[in-house]
A and B are shown apart, each in its own frame.
Chain A
């Protein structure tokens, strides 16, 4: 079974500073994918970044990077130079190699960016 854990229900960060959102996972699948989605107050789910379990380098997408530590089973999202528009819920998700069709989501972290 897959499990995603996000232990930070809410976080604050000062505008222009970097912030790390934690995500740990548990799976017995030999390969898997890890994702981060953003959900603003308007409710839509926005894909941010993807990391494959066999990728040699950590994924980066603009101001987003994924700090992937396979031995620790962690996939933390790092947002650099936070902006007010980054205030939102952030969800970590996983898809296992035996279940390409199924995503498992964590409970989310509410990020508030302060001016």
Chain B
């Protein structure tokens, strides 16, 4: 079991460029989440999904889009990157809404110049 994996681990973008972060889990989890972590702050929820084909907005969704075409994958897209999106991005998954543990990926460090 690889658990939760994220691709890529690091990325540098120029302002206005687009990119997609991939999250994959092999635990057959229904729920998946994207967070961002900024220096000195905890994680903030960007978007989440409660199952294949569903997505919903979290706390800080602006500037991001997501898709969950397959149960095991959750994609986070930046259509036009901005320096304010420089952050570490974490993906997580959980078994269902009542599961009391989220399993986190290793994170993706994104810098937008």
Residues of A bordering B, CB below 8 Å: 4, 6, 9, 33, 35, 43-45, 47, 50, 52, 91, 93, 95, 100-108
Instruction: Give the contacting residue for A47; candidates B88, B97, B102; CB below 8 A.
Output: B102
Judge whether A105 and B101 touch: CB under 8 Å: no
Residue of B nearest to A91 (CB): B42
Instruction: List the 8 closest A-B pairs by CB distance, nearest first.
Output: A105-B42, A100-B97, A45-B104, A105-B43, A50-B100, A43-B107, A107-B42, A47-B101
Return chain A residues, CB-CB under 8 Å to B96.
Answer: 100
Note all chain B residues with C-beta closer than 8 A to A103. Answer: 33, 43, 45, 102
In the complex, chain B residues 55-110 whose Cβ is within 8 Å of any chain A Cβ: 56, 58-59, 88, 90, 92, 96-98, 100-104, 106-107
Given A101-B50, A101-B97, decide whether A44 and B58 contact each other with a Cβ distance below 8 A. no
Output the nearest chain B residue to A110 by Cβ-Cβ distance: B40
Q: Which residue of A lies closest to B41 (CB)?
A: A107
Range class of the B interface residue count: 20 to 34
Q: Which residue of B lies closest to A34 (CB)?
A: B100
Query: Which residues from chain A contact B107 at a C-beta distance below 8 Å?
Result: 43-44
| Cα of A105 to Cα of B45 in the assembled complex, Å | 9
Note all chain B residues with C-beta closer than 8 A to A91. 42-43
A107 and B38 alpha carbons, distance in the complex (Å): 10
